[in-house]
Structure 1
Amino acid sequence: MATADCAEDAYTKDALLDASLFGKLRWRCRRGMLENDFFLERFFHQYAATLTVRQAECLQELMALADSDLLDVFLGRVKIGNVDPAMDRADMHALLALLQPKPETRP
């Protein structure tokens, strides 16, 4: 792949997700385990307006996991590389960091 193609691909992956693709992704992210839905709904509530194509692709990869494995990853009980070594990448780790609950800050 030429350098210009790589740059264009990187730009495309960092583009915001359009409304049609967002709706399909949100539908795809419905899970059978309520606990996973809590993580995903909170994520969509916080990041829907800024979701990129790259993040959407990572989310779609996560949706291929079994519900129990997904919950273990969300809760930090298991590292993503232990569930699927191919998912042990920087973009996946960045997405998982967004999916993690933020610690409460108290005055």
Structure 2
Amino acid sequence: MTEEMGKLRWRCRRGMKELDLLTLGYLERYYPDASVEEQRAFAEILELQDPLLMSYMVGRATPPDAVMARVVDAMRTLLNEPDPL
């Protein structure tokens, strides 16, 4: 694991277990092959407060940035899987 991945993994630790699973799931499944813009958007997502991030995950709010919205959509696909990790 690279140092960058280790730092991101640490930042994926949230106050809500559900968000832990979604952020870690994205990091492991999508981040390595994501575009540079999507990787930056994911890092920005990790800076959001849990309530806002959760509202994105459940569809109550939409990210203002198109790239961030793509990352959130990818994270939301993990909600439909029987076991996200």
Same fold (TM over 0.5): yes
Note the residue ranges of structure 2 that are not aligned, 5 or more in a row. Answer: none
Structure 1 residues 63 and 44: CA distance shift in structure 2, 3 A: closer
Asked if 1:29 corresponds to 2:5, the answer is: no
Q: Is the 8 A contact 1:29 1:40 kept in 2?
A: yes
For residues 1-107 of structure 1, what are the structure 2 equivalents within 5 Å? 19-80=2-63, 88-101=64-77, 103=80
Note the residue ranges of structure 1 that are not aligned, 5 or more in a row. Answer: 1-17, 81-87
Of stretches 50-59 and 92-101 in structure 1, the one that deviates more from structure 2 is: 50-59
Q: C-alpha distance in 2, partners of 1:63/1:35?
A: 14
TM-score by length of structure 1 reads 0.61
Size of the aligned set, in residue pairs, is 80
Structure having greater relative contact order (Cα 8 Å, sep ≥ 6): 2
Q: Is the 8 A contact 1:25 1:56 kept in 2?
A: no
Show CA shifts across 1:17-67 (max 9, x none).
Answer: x92212211211211111111211221232243144322221221122211
Q: Is the 8 A contact 2:31 2:39 kept in 1?
A: no
C-alpha RMSD over aligned residues: 2.2
The residue type paired with residue 50 of structure 1 is D
